[in-house]
A and B are shown apart, each in its own frame.
Chain A
């Protein structure tokens, strides 16, 4: 009896496995499906950095964007942390690698090293605290000095859900953004309002720069990495030929 049972069980297992694999094979026949199913298939990697004063909600923005949740008791960031998410721009899968920096002054020297090679910089202030807005010019100087000229800088006024405590008007910040050639949106990491847009608009702008040819992809330090998918097979045959040549 026991034998029968075990045999039966193994049979079930077999058929399940084959079914499963069958499904995989089906999906691999349709590239679009694989793109959707596998979270790691993408054609570009964009590197972002989030900067701004302490407590303006940088980590919360990141968390809202990657997890679609609001983190209520967010501890101070120590040094830098990072998150990733795959998005789609003009039908291209793009992986965002987002480096969230600490706003505390004592980490300033450390966080400066992370501007290097960022394709996008999200500069965040808190609309309820004027001081964080006043410090923007210093953040902007850092961002301009330490990144590419092509780096897309996006100004974010966070906490726009706290309208009653507003300390910086939209118009004022908009003017600042226009004067400095920045993109600008007011967001709320708490409600999620405009968060998606800020990250995606930045990616769109970067993608547009790539299309225009103003961003050179040929180096890792540009903050963008392109992953061509078609020439790979050709490469692999080359490799094997080489290998055969070697083995002789």
Chain B
């Protein structure tokens, strides 16, 4: 390059004017220090241009050219290697390329081939996942809708018929599954739902059958004096409630067992008594009807109360809802009916025996009351329509009928052989006896244990059965007596009846009736008494005329027998009466049993006498009757008479 420039410089220097000057200028202007190429060139020139002489200067060019050639040759030589190497690299790369191409084509082919597989795998995988999910669902489904093997085992049970403790939970599960099937049926799983339902129903049926068998055999064992009702049995009864028929049968079975127990217990208590004879057998007291019947009924009362507890224990788990509660109550009562039915026969036979053995009216009446009491007491525990209560009621009715029967027999006997009243006009022995009976009956009625309102009902019948025939008997026996005797006798009889009744409740009406009758007889008696006195003093005739006298008939003194002399003598007799009034009393009046009536007859008869005297006195002093000096005829004023008699 440097040579080229110098040559350029040389050639341009040969040109005139401008180009040369320009070149020169350029050369001159050239700063060798700054021209790195020039410096390089010069530097390398200095390496081989050691001697600056002509020859060398002449040879410089060829030297340089030779050098250049050599360098080029060297260059070429060097590049040949490079080229060869490059060629080999190229070949390698080409091979690699081919290889790659081959591989890629193969890959492509493989890819083409595997794509199917992959997609298949993916689908399979997806499917597998889906299946897994399904399997989970199915497992969950099975867990919910199928029984476990051991549960089935439990439901099938062991050979000896005993019940596994888990039985009830398994049964509950079967029931739950059966219920859950409804969900399946409502959705799109009808077939599954139906099938599961069917199989559950089968399980359920067999389980219930087994449960029933077990419960049945358990119940059969409960015929001891006090049954041991286990929790398991209660649970079983609760579970079996879903099958009303089996439930019914179970309760029947229980009832039958208890029925046997209670009958046996009753017979034992009646005939054997306690251990070593204490307490003594109830039948030992059969000679004392009240104690015998009372003991039997009390025993039954206690037994029934215990039985009720047992039934309630058995059904204690069944109380679930308010609706069910009443049903459970009904069941309790039903079972109790069944349980107590058994003792009806032995009880009835014995009660009837007692009632029919004619223990007497009072005892019959007491028995009827006792039975009535137990009819209520036992009826409070079990249904009053139950056989036991009905039996007691039946016998009670029979007893009451027998009682009234004895009363009417008694009444018939009274009327059949009517006694004549005794001379003292007091009560006959029949009357006294009947009144004693009445007293006995009424006092047992009074202390009766039957509530007040229940007592009132048969009261009227008792009274009419005893009192009416008595009154009838009295009238019959009095029929042949004269008026005074009859009145006295009737007063005495009724007075005694009244006295007997007055002590007891519910007799007010009767007492009133009797009082009215007594009053009537007392009236008779006192008018008889007054008439008796007037007759004895010969004033009866006078009084009779005075009473009927009419002023138009003329003065009294003109009437026969009413002349002053006759009246005067009668008045003298009357004076005698006034002096000793008691001797003018009718003998019958002193036979009156009641001093009160006696006094009342006396008092009222005196009143009548006074009244009559007053009337006569007035008539005698009446001037129209033409009595001269009436005070000589009737010396005493009515007031004086009243005072004297008072």
A80 touches B221 (CB 8 A): no
Residues of chain A within 8 A (CB-CB) of B244 are none
CB distance from B291 to the nearest CB of A (A): 8
CB distance from A209 to the nearest CB of B (A): 13
- A92 interface contact, C-beta 8 A: no
- B309 interface contact, C-beta 8 A: yes
- B268 interface contact, C-beta 8 A: yes
Contact of A221 among B176, B274, B294 (CB under 8 A): B274
Q: Could you count the A-B residue pairs with CB atoms below 8 Å apart for me: how many are there?
A: 139
**In the complex the two chains form, what is the Cα distance from A47 to B377 in whole Å?**
19
- B103 interface contact, C-beta 8 A: no
**In the complex the two chains form, what is the Cα distance from A2 to B183 in whole Å?**
11
Using CB atoms, name the residue of chain B closest to A229.
B228
Using CB atoms, name the residue of chain B closest to A148.
B278
- A6 interface contact, C-beta 8 A: yes
B269 touches A221 (CB 8 A): yes
- B449 interface contact, C-beta 8 A: yes
Contact of A107 among B226, B279, B449 (CB under 8 A): B449
**In the complex the two chains form, what is the Cα distance from A169 to B176 in whole Å?**
68
Known contacts: A40-B316, A236-B217. The answer to whether A7 contacts B274 by CB under 8 A is no
Binary flags per residue of A227-248, CB closer than 8 Å to B gives 1, else 0 = 1010010011101100100000
Contact of B301 among A3, A80, A218, A220 (CB under 8 A): A80
CB distance from A9 to the nearest CB of B (A): 11
Q: Of the listed stretches B32-40, B161-169, B571-579, B587-595, name the one at the interface; the rest are far from the partner chain.
A: B161-169
- B398 interface contact, C-beta 8 A: no
Total interface residues in chain A, CB < 8 Å: 58
Residues of chain B within 8 A (CB-CB) of A6 are 183
A18 touches B169 (CB 8 A): yes
- A97 interface contact, C-beta 8 A: yes
A240 touches B161 (CB 8 A): yes
B228 touches A227 (CB 8 A): yes
B295 touches A113 (CB 8 A): yes
**In the complex the two chains form, what is the Cα distance from A97 to B276 in whole Å?**
23
A227 touches B279 (CB 8 A): no
- A181 interface contact, C-beta 8 A: no
Q: Give residues of chain B (267-312) contacting chain A, Cβ–Cβ below 8 Å.
A: 268-269, 272-276, 278-279, 282, 290-291, 294-295, 297-299, 301-302, 305-306, 309
- A110 interface contact, C-beta 8 A: yes
Binary flags per residue of A92-117, CB closer than 8 Å to B gives 1, else 0 = 00000101000001110110111111
CB distance from A96 to the nearest CB of B (A): 12
B313 touches A40 (CB 8 A): yes
Residues of chain B within 8 A (CB-CB) of A79 are 373, 377, 449
A3 touches B299 (CB 8 A): no
B176 touches A113 (CB 8 A): no
B449 touches A14 (CB 8 A): no
Residues of chain B within 8 A (CB-CB) of A216 are 275-276
Total interface residues in chain B, CB < 8 Å: 58
**In the complex the two chains form, what is the Cα distance from A18 to B316 in whole Å?**
20
Residues of chain B within 8 A (CB-CB) of A221 are 268-269, 273-275, 278-279
Residues of chain B within 8 A (CB-CB) of A142 are none
Residues of chain A within 8 A (CB-CB) of B20 are none
A220 touches B221 (CB 8 A): no
- B156 interface contact, C-beta 8 A: no
A147 touches B279 (CB 8 A): yes
CB distance from A40 to the nearest CB of B (A): 5
A28 touches B231 (CB 8 A): yes
CB distance from A121 to the nearest CB of B (A): 13
Using CB atoms, name the residue of chain B closest to A149.
B278
- B23 interface contact, C-beta 8 A: no
Using CB atoms, name the residue of chain B closest to A147.
B279
Q: Of the listed stretches A19-27, A158-166, A190-198, name the one at the interface; the rest are far from the partner chain.
A: A19-27
Residues of chain B within 8 A (CB-CB) of A134 are none
B226 touches A117 (CB 8 A): no
A243 touches B373 (CB 8 A): no
Q: Which residues of A contact B (CB under 8 A)?
A: 3, 6-7, 10, 13-14, 17-18, 21-22, 24-25, 28-29, 34, 38, 40-41, 45, 47, 78-80, 82, 84, 97, 99, 105-107, 109-110, 112-117, 146-149, 216, 218-222, 225, 227, 229, 232, 235-237, 239-240, 243
**30 examples of A-B residue contacts, CB within 8 angstroms:** A3-B183, A6-B183, A18-B169, A21-B168, A25-B165, A25-B169, A28-B165, A29-B165, A34-B231, A40-B316, A78-B451, A79-B449, A80-B298, A106-B449, A109-B290, A110-B294, A110-B373, A113-B295, A116-B298, A117-B269, A117-B274, A117-B279, A221-B268, A221-B269, A222-B274, A225-B225, A236-B217, A236-B218, A236-B221, A240-B217
Given A21-B172, A114-B298: 18 more A-B contacts, CB < 8 Å: A14-B173, A17-B176, A18-B169, A21-B169, A25-B165, A84-B309, A110-B373, A112-B294, A113-B299, A147-B279, A221-B273, A221-B274, A221-B275, A222-B275, A236-B162, A239-B217, A240-B161, A243-B217
- Nearest first, the 8 A-B pairs at minimum CB distance are A221-B274, A113-B298, A216-B275, A21-B169, A106-B447, A220-B225, A225-B226, A219-B275
